[in-house]
C-alpha cells in the first residue's frame, strides 16, 4: 500500500470524525477543539496533494488565528444553558443532508470533468516548487484581487473595532 494512500485515508477519516464532533458536541469548547483537529487534518490533506504553501497557511491562519478568535469570544460569553441541538430540525436535515451528499458524491465520481490543460505539470512543479508556482500566479495574474483582499482585511478590522466598542456600557453610566 502506498504511503500517500495511507495518509489520505487516515487524514480524511480523522477529519470527518472531528467534523461530526464539531456539529454534534453539546459543549461549545469541545466543538472548537474538534474544529482545530479538523483544520489540522485538512492541512495534512493539502500536504498529500502537494500544496505545501496552502497547508502551512491553513495551520498558521486557521488553526491558530481564527480559532483564537472563537476561544476569546467563548470565554467572554457565559456558558450556553439551552439545548445544543434542535431535534425537530435534526429529523429533517439529516436525511436531506445524506441525500445531498449522495448526489454530490455521484457527481464527483461519475461526472465528466475538464481534462488537464494547465501548465504546471508534475515535472515543472518538482523543479520550481509549489510555493514559487503559487506565488508567481498570485503576484502576476491575481495581483488586483490580492490588493482588494488587503482592503477587505482593513475594512473588517475597522468594522470589528467599531462593533466591539463598549458604547452601550458608557451610555448606561451616563444614565446613572
Partner 1 sequence: MVPYEYYVVLSALLMVLGLVGVIIRKNIIAMLISTELMLNAVNIAFVAFDFKLQEVAGQVFVFFILTIAAAEAAVGLGLIMAIYRMKKDVSVEKLTELKF
Q: Give me the 77-116 binding string for partner 1, x by CB under 8 A, dash otherwise.
A: x--x-xxxxx--xx--xx--xx-xx--xx--xx---xx-x
Alpha-carbon distance 151 to 89, whole Å?
38
Alpha-carbon distance 145 to 19, whole Å?
31
Using CB under 8 A, which residues numbered 1 to 60 contact partner 1?
A: 2, 4-5, 8, 12, 15-16, 19-20, 22-23, 28, 31-32, 35, 38-39, 42, 45-46, 48-51, 53-54, 57-58
163 near partner 1, rule: CB under 8 A = yes
- Residue 19: count of CB within 10 angstroms of its CB: 16
DSSP label at residue 62: I
Closest CB 73 distance from partner 1, rounded Å: 5
64 near partner 1, rule: CB under 8 A = no
Q: Phi/psi zone of residue 75: left (φ > 0), alpha (ψ -120 to 50 degrees), beta?
A: alpha
Alpha-carbon distance 151 to 154, whole Å?
5
Q: Give me the 122-151 binding string for partner 1, x by CB under 8 A, dash otherwise.
A: x-------x--xx--xx--xx--x---x--
Amino acid at each position: 500500500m502506498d504511503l500517500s494512500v495511507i495518509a489520505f485515508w487516515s487524514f480524511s477519516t480523522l477529519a470527518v470524525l472531528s467534523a461530526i464532533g464539531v456539529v454534534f458536541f453539546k459543549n461549545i469548547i469541545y466543538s472548537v477543539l474538534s474544529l482545530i483537529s479538523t483544520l489540522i487534518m485538512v492541512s495534512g490533506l493539502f500536504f498529500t496533494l502537494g500544496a505545501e504553501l496552502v497547508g502551512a497557511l491553513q495551520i498558521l491562519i486557521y488553526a491558530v488565528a481564527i480559532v483564537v478568535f472563537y476561544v476569546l469570544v467563548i470565554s467572554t460569553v457565559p456558558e450556553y444553558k439551552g439545548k445544543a441541538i434542535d431535534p425537530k430540525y435534526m429529523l429533517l436535515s439529516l436525511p436531506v443532508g445524506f441525500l445531498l451528499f449522495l448526489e454530490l458524491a455521484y457527481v464527483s465520481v461519475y461526472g465528466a470533468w475538464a481534462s488537464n490543460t494547465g501548465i504546471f505539470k508534475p515535472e515543472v512543479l518538482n523543479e520550481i516548487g509549489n510555493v514559487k508556482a503559487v506565488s508567481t500566479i498570485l503576484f502576476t495574474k491575481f495581483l488586483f484581487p490580492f490588493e482588494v483582499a488587503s482592503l477587505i482585511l482593513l475594512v473588517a478590522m475597522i468594522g470589528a473595532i467599531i462593533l466591539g466598542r463598549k458604547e452601550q456600557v458608557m451610555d448606561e453610566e451616563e444614565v446613572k
